[in-house]
Structure formats: C-alpha cells, structure tokens
Amino acid sequence: MQCVINRRAEFSASHRYWLPELDDQTNREKFGNCGRFPGHGHNYVLYVSLMGEIDSYGMVENLSTVKGVIKQEVTSQLDYSHLNDVWEEFQQSLPTTENLARVIWQRLKSHLPLVKIQLFEHPRLWAEYQGNLMEATLTIQTHFSAAHRLALPELSLEENTKIYGKCARIHGHGHNYHLEVSVTGDIDPRTGMLVDLGALQQVVKDYVVEPFDHNFLNKDIPYFAQVVPTAENIALYIAQLLQNPIRELGAELDQVKLIESPNNSCEIYCRQGVQPLKSSSNIEPILVGTH
C-alpha cells in the first residue's frame, strides 16, 4: 500500500531579483520592489512530501532520518542566508519561490523518495514542484467581500427555501471570500519565474476582486442574473474570467479555490479547459471596473 507522508521545515532567508545584464530602469520595471538593494527577506515554510510502502515498523521513512536530511541538505544552508549567493544554481537563475522549490527538489531527490515540494514564501504566495523538468505551479491568495442570494427566479420563496435553506432569504447575506488562484508553466531559466507575479496579481484584481468586492453578486454581476451564485458557480465563473488573461501572460490556469467560510470551500480544476454552464452559455464574461 502506497502512502504519502509530509515533513514540515522552516528557514529565514533574503533574496533580490536583479539581472546584471539589464540596466537599472529595466530591472525596476521587471522586478519592482523585489529588485531593491540589498534585497528583502521571508520566513519560508517548506513541506516535503514522500511516497512509499509502509514498512514493518509502520513507517514510509524514519522521520528522524528525513528531518536530518532536510536540515543537512537544505535548511542549515539556507537559514539566515542571502539566497542569491548561497547556492550555485542561483548564479544562473533568480531564487524565486517556484525556482527555489525546484532547486530544493534537486538537492533532496537522491536522498528521499520525493513526490512533491511545496514552498510558502508568504501565507498568500506559494509554489509546488513535482519533479517535472522546469514545470512548476505558483499560487496566490486574495480576498473579496460580497453578498448573494441563492434562489431560482422561477421558484417561490417556499420552494427555494426547501432547496437553499436560509440562503434563500430575500435580502441575501454576505461572506468574506478567500480566493486561491494557481497557475502552471515552465520556469524561465534566467529569471526563475514561470509568470510575472505582479501581472498575475493585477489580472486577478482587475477581473475578479474589483468587480466582485462589496457588491451584491445577483444584482451587480450580470452573469449571476441568470445563474445562482453558489460557491461552486462563483468559482467556475472566476475560472472562466481568468483562463484567457492568464494564458496571455504565458501561463496556464491550473486551479481556482474559493473559500466561502471556514466550513465551506470548492475547487475548480482548469488544466483541461473551463466550460461554461449550459444554462449560461449565452452569457459572455463581463469585465467590470478595470483600471
């Protein structure tokens, strides 16, 4: 029986995004505040996932051994370091979150049966790498507050209440939604990036956060005049909105996760494309409130 185990580790380090072959203005345009001298730091959280058979001791790997390998090969070298200088790999490409996850995999792969490296640079920014050449996944998290009502217009209040419960009440209710957007692509061998992070954040802001935030979705977003704004339908619509703009950035939308409350969330997997609902196939995605 195959089993996956996960080991957590931490390290604190600084880095700078700056390419010596570019002039100062081009570096500033490309990397923004991340190019400031001498750099900036993060408290990184690393998850190392291993897969294997459960042995006679009830373990996939001895966790004491795993802990020692991660410390020796990764955290003892990176903790309180300047990433650009500590490993030779970062002389050729920048230590972005996704590139750092990839290089950590390379450092550990001969020691442990790896299945995934997940690296959090920040609670709202993390990367995953699964050993697929230069391909990685980058995730950003954001939030918006919005109201909605769950009801089918052709049904009575009583009928809607039987389906949606309190969520069918006529004046609606609100949530503080948390949104995670994951994109996949190849890491650029020089910049260390799979996508321009600032551009990705701006796309999510323009297409989702600004139009949705502090609005009543049923009334202020035309799409939801005909589609019930359940968490599932909101996530699907967000995926529809983001798919092409993210592709224009050179990445592919991988997953949209919408957290409606601590008890409710949903995920849309997008690698095979996102198809609109049949009931709303005649409604084109509308971009509202962009800058």
Active-site annotation, residues: 167, 214, 260
Instruction: Answer whether 195's CB lies under 8 Å from 185's CB.
Output: yes
| Number of helices followed by number of strands (H, E) in the chain | 10, 10
The whole-angstrom separation of Cα 281 and Cα 276 is 6
Tokens 């095979």, residue located: 272
Q: H/E element holding 176? A: strand 173-186
Give the span between the Cα atoms of 191 and 92, in whole angstroms: 9
- Among 104, 107, 134, which residue's Cα sits nearest to residue 117? 104
Compute the distance between CA of residue 132 and CA of residue 114 in angstroms, rounded to an integer: 12
Say what angle helices 231-248 and 197-204 make with each other, to 10 degrees.
140
Contact call for residues 5 and 62 (beta carbons, < 8 A)? no
DSSP string, 105-174: HHHHTTTS-EEEEEEEEETTEEEEE-S-TTEEEEEEEEEEEEEE----TTS-HHHHHHHHGGGG-TT-EE
